[in-house]
A and B are shown apart, each in its own frame.
Chain A
Amino acid sequence: MKFKSIVLGTVAALLTTTAAMAEEMKMAVTTSFANSGLADVLLPKVKEDTGIDVQLLIVGTGQALALGAAGDVDAVLVHSKAAEEKWLAEGNGTHRTEIMYNDFIFVGPQADPAKAHDAEKATDALKAIADTQAPFVSRGDDSGTHKMELKLWKAAGIEPAGDWYKAVGQGMGAALNTAAGMDAYIMADRASWLNFANKGDLGIVFEGDPILFNQYAYLPVNPEKHPHVKSELVDQLEAWLLSDTAKELIEGYQIAGQQLFVYNAAR
């Protein structure tokens, strides 16, 4: 019967999916890293040099670390030092290798009603925004970017709350869409911003304060806790990330003529 063959065919197709997984490893990365487009440059080269097919799970830092803690990925590439160290202390990973950094910027309406552009330091820019009660969109999703934003508010001595402060609980792109839609200020990583297509009336209003630097680190999941983790591939990938090839690719990666990442791995 026709029906029966459809069922059998489907079941067979489902069963064969898991078969061809020889040299694959999973890595959880942050949305900001994925949005930078750097992965599209690095991963084909990784495959070429090592034969490893790195599968990316694009999530927030919070979820990335949770996936690593659960053993659902083999490694994590995130940017939230405090959270990473806590994660390591809990025995979830073996070590932390700093790879590169990029920076955060403040994006806002071109007219810049809060005059954030005139601020000396990032904290001053935030104070100006809070003082004028200009709308500000926060990721509000426990991501690395969100954590960084909260750290800056704290440093500025402000408890952000009120109608003007909108926590959207979404990824960088969705948050940028929201900000573009309501002409609001937002903190974003430079890569996501440059790659973002729906800029609307927004532009960069503040940048360059060292406090805004955003360190990415590579964290292998602890094989003692999760024996199924593909440690060999994880080590190979780490070695590759510390190679000259990686350094050249990362430093040479540009969007709109701008270098996005500064390679600072201790080799």
Chain B
Amino acid sequence: MNSIGEGLWQAARLVATLNPDLVEITALSLRVSLGATVVASCIGLPLGAWLAVNRFPARRFVIAILNALMGLPPVVVGLIVYVLFSRSGPLGVLGLLFTPTAMVIAQVIIITPIIASVAHQAIRDLWADYHDLLISLQATRLQRIKTLLWDGRRALMTASLAGFGRAIGEVGAIMIVGGNIDHATRVLTTAIALETGKGEFDMALALGFVLIGLAILVNLGLHFISRTERGARW
């Protein structure tokens, strides 16, 4: 079987000809997963930092929950979001089921714990380094968090990228809440599942290679941005 070679060749052909279907589902993949990453980062990064610098009774419990949620199967998240947003569900009136918005919501639930956990780890280490200095300089609580977020920004970017990586490769949840509708909610991963189901392994592999390439591009792009920033300031 020569599927991998075929897949690579087909991927190259699809990309080179800017196949309109490919462009459409790739753009939606990016929009959904980047959107989810931005939203989840807005929640997860401050949450992680906050857990790292604050001591309160339920802290260990919250961290344990967060770590447990990291392993949440996407299918379960998908089901929960489906039940919530189904027309018969509590949020059904919003009419969000089978839309990209619902897919973003499901992915936010999946990746927020990952982003918060990685951010927590990074900020905790940084806080251990900075603790004495920031207390000595009498930095306020807000100043401490701002300093830690800023100085830990590259570790935090890694946290966001970890979340993005999980989101862009996720299929279980968005299949259920998006429905894999052609020209509406079909993304790379659900298209791969569809092609695999048809036994079209070459096409499925081609889409898989596009997905890998896309993930690499986004990572390189962000690292490039952060490098130029570092040149100026740090």
Contact = CB atoms under 8 A, between A and B. Distances in A.
B35 A13 contact: yes
Contact of B199 (A17, A72, A177, A228): A177
B75 to A, nearest CB: 12
Given A58-B180, A171-B197, A197-B198, A17 B98 contact: no
Contacts of A58: 180, 194
A14 B88 contact: no
Nearest to B89: A70
A1 to B, nearest CB: 12
Contact of A196 (B96, B97, B181, B199): B199
Contacts of B95: 18, 228
B47 interface: no
A154 to B, nearest CB: 27
A7 B87 contact: no
A18 B96 contact: yes
Interface string A65-93: 00001111000000000000000000000
Contact of B197 (A10, A31, A70): A31
Interface string A121-152: 00000000000000000000000000000000
A167 B100 CA distance: 33
Given A171-B197, A173-B196, A197-B200, A26 B181 contact: yes
Contacts of A35: 197-198
Interface in B44-97: 86-89, 92, 95-97
B38 A10 contact: yes
Contacts of B31: 13
Q: Could you say which of B31, B98, B104, B197 has the most chain A C-beta atoms within 10 Å of its C-beta? A: B197
Contact of B201 (A10, A57, A172, A197): A197
A172 B196 CA distance: 11
A13 B180 CA distance: 19
A17 B34 contact: no
Interface residues of B, number: 33
Contact of A57 (B101, B179, B198): B179
A39 to B, nearest CB: 9
A81 to B, nearest CB: 25
Contacts of A57: 98, 179-181
Given A10-B39, A13-B31, A70-B88, A55 B98 contact: yes
A30 to B, nearest CB: 12
Contacts of B100: 14, 17
A176 B179 contact: no
A228 B140 CA distance: 53
Given A173-B198, A195-B198, A197-B200, A10 B182 contact: no
A228 B87 contact: yes
B38 A7 contact: yes
A181 to B, nearest CB: 11
B181 to A, nearest CB: 4
Contact of A72 (B87, B180, B182, B201): B87
Contacts of A259: none
A26 B182 contact: no
Contacts of A228: 87, 95
Contacts of A226: 87
B87 A71 contact: yes
Interface in A208-267: 226, 228
B97 to A, nearest CB: 5
Nearest to B35: A10
Contacts of A6: 38
Interface string A159-187: 00000000000011110110010000000
A13 B184 CA distance: 14
Interface centre among B98, B179, B196 (most CB of A within 10 A): B179
Interface of A: 6-7, 10, 13-14, 17-18, 24, 26, 31, 35, 55-58, 69-72, 171-174, 176-177, 180, 195-199, 226, 228
Q: Which 3 A-B pairs have the closest CB atoms?
A: A173-B197, A198-B199, A71-B87
12 contacts: A6-B38, A14-B101, A55-B181, A55-B182, A55-B183, A58-B180, A70-B88, A71-B87, A72-B87, A196-B198, A198-B201, A228-B95
Given A56-B182, A71-B88, A197-B201, 10 more contacts: A17-B101, A18-B101, A26-B181, A55-B184, A57-B180, A70-B89, A173-B197, A196-B198, A197-B202, A226-B87
